[in-house]
Structure 1
Amino acid sequence: MKKVILCAGALMFGAVAFAQQNTSTGSQSGTSNTGDVYQAGTMNKANLVQNGTTNASETSQFGADNLVKVDQVGTSNTSSAIQEGGSDNKAYVDQDDLGNMSTIIQGTGMAAVGNWAKVTQSGSTDVLTGNYAKVKQTYDQSKADVNQSGDSNMAKVTQVGKPNQPGAPNARFPRNEADVDQMGTGNKARVNQESYAVSGAKNMATVYTDGIDNLAVVEQIETQGNRATITQENNYAEAYVDQDSDDNKATITQTGDDVDLVAGAGDKAYVHQMGSTGNNAIINQESIDPYGDPGSYARVLQDGADNLARVNQTTRGQEAFVHQMGTDNTVDVSQSGYSQYADLYQNGSDHKIDLTQGWSQGSAIISQFGTGHTATHTQGGGGSNSFTALQEDFPGQGTLDLTPEVRTTPSGY
């Protein structure tokens, strides 16, 4: 085993220097090498290139305006970068091949803003051994980019804001921003964002997956004005968005093709926006299935006032379930194929439902409890449609169902 320890930009084995603007550059080739870099101060740079298998890189920087760059080519390599105690740090990790792992931790220990983490992992689609990327950023105005290609990859981004962080957000980023791009099959992506700011730009999460058996999860809590966008192409993808507070927006777009897949499954999308006002949930699903198997499934749960749930589904065999509690909420569901099903429920006052089913064999149930509700439904001319509406001018039974069966938590994390 070969091991390199670099401290504060020089090959040192004694006391640690705390000088500023130091640079460490290293290169290793072969198997089972380790490279450790420790730097304290500001404007330090650490560069390490490793070419081979089962190599390990560990970098620790304490201070502000520091930079880490790690390039690893080969299989089963690991990279760990910790940037603590300062703002405007950057960590870039590039791993080429399969079975690699990258961990980036920024902003621990002290308040830190404006950190940036970027992980690029490229693997072969011929092998089912995937890569794993983990990013954790503490405090505000951070950005994380994760790009993965190949099979069986996993990405997890966690961003936690500081309570009562003073001052306006940095102009470069919103409160926190996470971008995850995955190309291949069997991918998993999870983004957790939490911030306690009461003004200014908030969190943004964007997840793009392309392949089979994908899963994407976004959780944004304790902050107003969050944005979550999940785009998945191909089938068997599942998307979950959980937003807690006001004026949030979630958009899920799923396009699938079941031709080469196992029968009986389609895309699934879940949006939970609880106890808040002015939220928007938008789900777009298109499932192309020549065998007549079940298509896409959409579920939206909203509790509060002035919320909007919009579901657009095309082709056939798809289901939409929307459940709203509160006042002045709106449901807009459009299903343009045949054999579609909609179950729409509202409880409270002054709600509105607009449902369109565009072809044949459509089925719909509308339930509205309370006062001041309106419901409009249109079913196409293909025939064999059915519709049931229930409107009662008193509050319905119970509260919004949050049992595990309804408020689904994905496995694998």
Structure 2
Amino acid sequence: MKKFVLGSASVIALAISAPAFGQSVSNVDQAGNSNAATVTQTGTNDSDIDQTGDNNTATVEQETFGAFGASGNNADIIQTGNFNTATAEQENGVPGSIANQATITQNGDGTSTGEANTAIARQSGNDNTTTIDQGVAGLGTGNSNTADTRQTGSANMIDVAQINDGAAATLRQTGEGNTSISSQGRPNAASTTSGQELVVFQNGADNTSDIDQRGSGNYASVFQSGERNTSTIRQPGADNNIGVELASIGVNQVGADNTSTVTQGANNGLVNVNQTGDELTSTVTQTGRANNSVASVNQSGTRNTSTILQDAPPPPTGPGREMTANLTQSGSDNVSDITQTNTLGAPAVSGNFASVTQSGTFQTSTVEQDGHENDATVNQSNTGNESEVVQTGNANFAEVTQSGSDSTSTISQQSNESWARVNQAASNSSSSITQTANGQNALVLQGGSDQTAVIRQSAGAGVLGIIGGDLPDSGISWARIEQTAAGSGNSSTIDQEGLSNFALTRQVGNRNSSTILQDGNANLLGIFQSGDDNRSNVTQSGLRTNFSNLSFLANVGVQQTGDRNQSDVVQTGDYLDTAFVGNIENTFRVLQSGDDNTSTIDQSGLNPEARLLQAGNFNTSDIDQAGTENRAFVDQIGSGNSSFVDQLDPAGVNNFADVDQTGDDGLSEVLQTGSNNTATLAQGGSDNESFITQAGTGNTATVTQGSMMNVSTIDQNGIGNSAIVSQGM
């Protein structure tokens, strides 16, 4: 055994070489400044170096010499002071050898970078342990300390604890089953230390990295390559970064079955996670006030799962502002969950943003946002896609694009300034958008079979939002569903309640069905259906339900082309021309062409107007109107036509009915009761029948019928009646 005790000296260098291959024990004590101690040992050894003072250097080398392995070594270095450097190197490459242990403790209290301490540890072999402690608990000093560790082998452990500001640590492990535990900052003092940096490199399988950083302005980065690696990072302070400086990566995992967990508190947190491989899992939690927090996760592989939670407390402590979440997943069986909450309150500048991109199979994405200026974007591609976006409060926008099969998308906004857009190109698709109040917009486009889209809006915009043109002004609440791409099994429902609503449905192909219910003011409507088993139901209630001066309505107010078409329309509304100029009326238009068409219109209000054109096959039309200045236009062209117009008084005034039937089995009945009634009918072609009954002031009836089995009956009761019937022609 050799023991050296040295007193103070300005510069003293001590070198101990112990090639004896038994057990060697070295104990070195140095007091003063600029001391240097170097211990070299081979075999199973213990080395203890204690240095008190500044600018000291301690080096312990425990290594293999020839056939003699360095195993079971202990190196313990304690330095008290500033600008000290400690180095421990242990080599253990002999199978079955005993694990080495290196411990470096530096109790510096320097206040600047020039007074920082440095700890370096190198270990090779298995089951080795490195422990580094830097800083002085309870002091606001001990800044800018540096730790650098490397381990090669399996089942090794690194434990680094750095107290105080500006510390930097780099931990490297190569092998399997290694563990890295790192702590920077003072415990229970989340906001009083700052500017720490920590980088961990692990290469191998079943490795674990655990990082705990206290305080503000900290930076952490983890690189793991291999399988079943786990990374955990906790930063409870403000202005922390996880990534950015190293290729924008905070956690980089390459391999299978890797797991990453990141927790940040307070403001200005930044997280980047990059995972490549199979069975990957990433969890990012940003809490506290969470102002200006950014979380980015990129996963590539199969069965990926990612969860991002950004959460700030409600007022008066909150709200959190400017939260951003970005997620990209590529592979199969991906699941993504992004939640941004507790952001409501003043000031209204919480610009939350969430973006999810998933490519692969079985993707599922859920985004929840709560608070000002929300924005969510989800893009999923191919097979088994599901997306749900929930936004609450203020200028919300959500866009979901899903291309593939089995797609389902649900967007709920509860809401201010809301806008939602869904684009699904694909089989078995279903989309539901629910918006409540304020300036709502919704758009669903679906292509390919079995689509179902439901949009519900309740109260939005003002009556003055409609300014004309083919579509309403962008300030209006409106909903639009289009299902195309050759179709099959399409169904569309739009339910709107409130002011200035606009609804459009277009369906092409196979088993189409559409229902629009609007309750409110200044409602507009359009339904297009083309091909196969089409059915349309429209119910509108309120003021100014349709506007005939819009070129949009000149063409569309239910249009059906082909096969078993049916249309039911009920409008109840009034027209007051206080805010609009031109020919503005409650009106409706149905055009049906081809096969088994049936249409029924029931209108009640001040200025209803109904227009119907049916061309071809089994057409039947029934129009009932009650109110002031009622009008009805019916044109039927082609076989089996029947038309019934009854304008149901009450109290009549200026009723008008015009029915024109051309060809085949036509029958028309017009009954009008009220003032200034006029009925005109022209029928051409076989089996024609016409019945007109008018009661009340200034009636006129004109009937013209072409050949074959014509029957006409006119019954008029009241003042100024005139009837003209021409048959056979």
Same fold judged by TM-score > 0.5?
A: yes
Residue 353 of structure 2 aligns with which residue? Answer: 56
Residue 403 of structure 1 aligns with which residue? Answer: none
- Displacement of 1:264 in angstroms is 11
Residue 102 of structure 1 aligns with which residue? Answer: 398
**Pairwise mapping of residues 255-334 of structure 1 onto structure 2 (< 5 A)?**
255-257=541-543, 270-274=557-561, 276-288=562-574, 295-334=585-624
Residue 405 of structure 1 aligns with which residue? Answer: none
- Displacement of 1:251 in angstroms is 0.8
Are the structure 2 counterparts of residues 14 and 287 from structure 1 closer, same or farther at C-alpha, using a change threshold of 3 Å?
Answer: closer
2:324 to 34, 37, 58: 34
Residue 643 of structure 2 aligns with which residue? Answer: 353
Mapped contact 2:532–2:564 kept (Cα < 8 A): yes
Are the structure 2 counterparts of residues 151 and 67 from structure 1 closer, same or farther at C-alpha, using a change threshold of 3 Å?
Answer: same
CA RMSD of aligned residues (A): 2.9
Are the structure 2 counterparts of residues 4 and 240 from structure 1 closer, same or farther at C-alpha, using a change threshold of 3 Å?
Answer: farther
Distance in 2, matches of 1:300 and 1:390, equals 20
Give the residue type in structure 2 aligned to 1:314: S
Residue 371 of structure 2 aligns with which residue? Answer: 74
1:192 to 482, 502, 507: 482
**Pairwise mapping of residues 1-400 of structure 1 onto structure 2 (< 5 A)?**
3-6=270-273, 8-10=280-282, 16-20=299-303, 22-27=305-310, 29=312, 30-51=320-341, 52=343, 53-87=350-384, 89-107=385-403, 112-124=404-416, 130-161=417-448, 175-186=450-461, 187-196=477-486, 202-221=489-508, 223-257=509-543, 270-274=557-561, 276-288=562-574, 295-359=585-649, 360-361=652-653, 362-380=655-673, 382-393=674-685
Distance in 2, matches of 1:135 and 1:14, equals 23
Structure 2 residue matching 1:321: 3-state secondary structure: strand
- Displacement of 1:347 in angstroms is 1.8
Structure 2 residue matching 1:73: 3-state secondary structure: strand
C-alpha distance after superposition, 1:260-297 (max 9, x if no partner): x9x9999x7800112x1210111100014689996521
- Displacement of 1:72 in angstroms is 1.1
C-alpha distance after superposition, 1:341-363 (max 9, x if no partner): 00111122321111111112321
Are the structure 2 counterparts of residues 4 and 118 from structure 1 closer, same or farther at C-alpha, using a change threshold of 3 Å?
Answer: farther
Mapped contact 2:297–2:328 kept (Cα < 8 A): no
Distance in 1, matches of 2:364 and 2:569, equals 39
Structure 2 residue matching 1:310: 3-state secondary structure: strand
The worse-fitting range, judged by mean Cα deviation, of 238-247 and 335-344 is 335-344
Mapped contact 1:20–1:40 kept (Cα < 8 A): no
How many residues matched? 362
C-alpha distance after superposition, 1:57-105 (max 9, x if no partner): 1111222332211111122221111111222x21111111121210111
Are the structure 2 counterparts of residues 290 and 153 from structure 1 closer, same or farther at C-alpha, using a change threshold of 3 Å?
Answer: closer
Distance in 1, matches of 2:478 and 2:615, equals 32
Larger Rg belongs to: 2
Are the structure 2 counterparts of residues 371 and 16 from structure 1 closer, same or farther at C-alpha, using a change threshold of 3 Å?
Answer: closer
Distance in 1, matches of 2:577 and 2:337, equals 54
Give the residue type in structure 2 aligned to 1:209: Q
The worse-fitting range, judged by mean Cα deviation, of 246-255 and 59-68 is 59-68
Q: Percent of aligned pairs with the same residue?
A: 24
Mapped contact 2:447–2:487 kept (Cα < 8 A): no
Mapped contact 1:2–1:33 kept (Cα < 8 A): no
- Displacement of 1:131 in angstroms is 1.1
- Displacement of 1:309 in angstroms is 1.5
C-alpha distance after superposition, 1:118-166 (max 9, x if no partner): 1111125xxxxx111000111111111111112211100000116xxxx
Are the structure 2 counterparts of residues 117 and 379 from structure 1 closer, same or farther at C-alpha, using a change threshold of 3 Å?
Answer: same
C-alpha distance after superposition, 1:300-331 (max 9, x if no partner): 01111211111011233200000111232111
List gaps (5 residues or longer) in structure 2: 1-267, 285-295, 313-319, 344-349, 462-476, 687-729
Structure 1 residue matching 2:500: 3-state secondary structure: coil
Q: How high is the TM-score relative to the length of structure 1? A: 0.80
Distance in 2, matches of 1:56 and 1:15, equals 17
- Displacement of 1:16 in angstroms is 4.3
Mapped contact 1:365–1:387 kept (Cα < 8 A): yes
Are the structure 2 counterparts of residues 146 and 353 from structure 1 closer, same or farther at C-alpha, using a change threshold of 3 Å?
Answer: same
- Displacement of 1:22 in angstroms is 2.5
Give the residue type in structure 1 aligned to 2:668: A
Distance in 2, matches of 1:333 and 1:209, equals 24
Structure 1 residue matching 2:635: 3-state secondary structure: strand
Mapped contact 1:3–1:34 kept (Cα < 8 A): no
Are the structure 2 counterparts of residues 313 and 14 from structure 1 closer, same or farther at C-alpha, using a change threshold of 3 Å?
Answer: closer
Q: How high is the TM-score relative to the length of structure 2? A: 0.47
List gaps (5 residues or longer) in structure 1: 125-129, 163-174, 395-413
> Which has the bigger relative contact order, CA under 8 A and spacing at least 6?
1
